[in-house]
Amino acid sequence: MSARRHLPEQDEAELDMTPMLDIVFIMLIFFIVTTSFVKESGVTVSTPQASTASKQANANIFIAITAKGEIWVDRRPVDPRSVRAIVARLHADNPEGSVIIQADEEASTRTLVEVMDQVRLAGVEGIAIAAEKGVQ
C-alpha cells in the first residue's frame, strides 16, 4: 500500500467585492439623481410657428393633441375625461414642473381648451402651449 501524503489545505484566494459594490451603488445613486424625469407625449405633432416662441424650463409633462383630436399623454392615447387624473398623478411626482401642450396646428380649439381646463383642474398652474420659433 502506498502511503498518501496529506498536504496541508491551501487557502483559496478570495476577492473582496465590497469596494466594487460600493462603487456600483454610488454610481446607481448618481444616475438616479441626475436623470431628468420627463413624461413625453408619445406622438409627433406639427406645432404652429410663432416669432415670440421661447424655450420652457422645468417642463416635465407633455400632452399632445393630434389633428384628429386624439390626446396623448405618457406615450399612450387617453380619453379627454381622464386627462385631469393622469396629470394630477404625474404632477405629484414633480410638483415643481409644468405642463406643455403640443397641439397640432390643425387641432380644434375646443379640444385645446378642454385639455387646458382639465390640467388646471388637476392643480397645475404652469401651462404652456408649444410653438416652433418662426419668422413672421
Q: What is the pLDDT of residues 49-84, one digit of tens each?
A: 776 677 766 677 889 999 899 999 988 899 988 999
Domain of residue 54 covers: 49-133
Task: Say what angle helices 109-121 and 83-93 make with each other, to 10 degrees.
Answer: 50
Q: What is the pTM of this model?
A: 0.64
Instruction: List, for residues 9-58, the tens digit of each pLDDT value.
Output: 666 777 788 888 899 999 998 888 777 666 666 677 767 777 667 776 66
C-alpha cell at 56: 420652457
Higher pLDDT, 133 or 120: 120
Looking at residue 132, its pLDDT comes to 81
Looking at residue 10, its pLDDT comes to 63
57 part of a folded domain? yes
Half-sphere exposure of 69 (CA within 13 A, CB side): 8
116 part of a folded domain? yes
Q: Nearest 5 degrees, angle CA 84-CA 75-CA 80?
A: 30
Tell me the backbone φ, ψ of residue 50, rounded to 5 degrees: -145, 135
107 part of a folded domain? yes
Q: How many domains does the chain have?
A: 1
- Mapping DSSP onto H, E and C, the string for the chain reads CCCCCCCCCCCCCCCCCHHHHHHHHHHHHHHHHHCCCCECCCCCCCCCEECCCCCCCCEEEEEEECCCCCEEECCEEECHHHHHHHHHHHHHHCCCCEEEEEECCCCCHHHHHHHHHHHHHCCCCCEEECCEECCC
40 part of a folded domain? no
Looking at residue 122, its pLDDT comes to 92
Looking at residue 45, its pLDDT comes to 75
Which CATH number belongs to the domain containing residue 69 in this structure?
A: 3.30.420.270
- Cβ atoms of 101 and 83 within 8 Å: the answer is no
34 part of a folded domain? no
44 part of a folded domain? no
